[in-house]
Structure 1
């Protein structure tokens, strides 16, 4: 399912105010989007390999920024999948295909630091955050 199919408020529908961003005239998206409509969106590699789906969006409550998208990868029908915290800046919204693109190879994601849904890491720990951001080549943002 993609963000247009999860749009209970008509955020991505045509409007008379003109809109902004890549799809001008269709509401505020994609320059401004509802978090609930992004959860469940597919994530693909640049080679169009399916990598998983966004399970959660993590907000940094100190800065008001989106810190991570939690990506589910692997497993079968929700069983045995591994979760990954992906720095938000590492994702690109593909408005043509209505999905996210992550610039990593599938093999790189398989080797990435991940976690089980029963054992979440301390994402507020600066050392953990620096390691994740370094893995995906994304610097820490200023607080």
Structure 2
């Protein structure tokens, strides 16, 4: 069963009362500091002016370190045709619990020029040179595994 916000299923994982670092009360569910990936897939991504940038299509885990490495953002195209995918460092995204979406501090024009790929030709995300380039593009330091 798909449990993302897009289809309206309430999972109890989004909690807006945790803004400012306040921990949720016991029994209120896991979010927003601990959330299931199915809750986040298909969430909208906006720029700092709330302009639509795309949607999260995948969340990539670094299995060896146990950390989230990237969110894969889909942008452009129509009905899945011509759509471009982008690996965005997880640290570049800010979760907006009030609006159930992510904010990426990048202009749409910059995203147009970002290193991307199509659904049939994914990059080798384990390649350290590729990872360093992606993190540098978004102005984020690489985490250590």
TM over 0.5: yes
Q: Secondary structure at the match of 1:68?
A: strand
Q: Which runs of 5+ in 1 are unaligned?
A: 15-19
CA distance in 2, matches of 1:103, 1:77: 26
Correspondence 1:23-38 to 2 at 5 A: 24-25=24-25, 26-38=28-40
Work out whether residues 46 and 104 of structure 2, in 8 Å CA contact, stay in contact via their aligned partners in 1: yes
Q: Which runs of 4+ in 1 moved over 2 A?
A: 1-7, 10-14, 20-26
Residue number among 97, 100, 123 corresponding to 1:98 in the alignment: 100
CA distance in 2, matches of 1:28, 1:81: 33
CA distance in 2, matches of 1:60, 1:116: 21
Q: Calculate the TM-score normalised by the size of structure 2.
A: 0.86
Q: Calculate the TM-score normalised by the size of structure 1.
A: 0.87
Work out whether residues 14 and 32 of structure 2, in 8 Å CA contact, stay in contact via their aligned partners in 1: no
Q: Secondary structure at the match of 1:69?
A: strand
CA distance in 2, matches of 1:13, 1:117: 29
Correspondence 1:56-71 to 2 at 5 A: 56-71=58-73
Work out whether residues 58 and 73 of structure 2, in 8 Å CA contact, stay in contact via their aligned partners in 1: yes
Instruction: Quote the RMSD (CA, aligned, Å).
Output: 2.1
Query: Offset at 1:13?
Result: 7.7
CA distance in 2, matches of 1:134, 1:45: 18
Counterpart in the other structure of 2:8: 5
Q: Which runs of 5+ in 2 are unaligned?
A: none
Say whether residues 1:77 and 2:109 are aligned partners.
Answer: no
The count of residues paired between Structure 1 and Structure 2 equals: 136
Work out whether residues 59 and 67 of structure 1, in 8 Å CA contact, stay in contact via their aligned partners in 2: yes
CA distance in 1, matches of 2:14, 2:141: 35
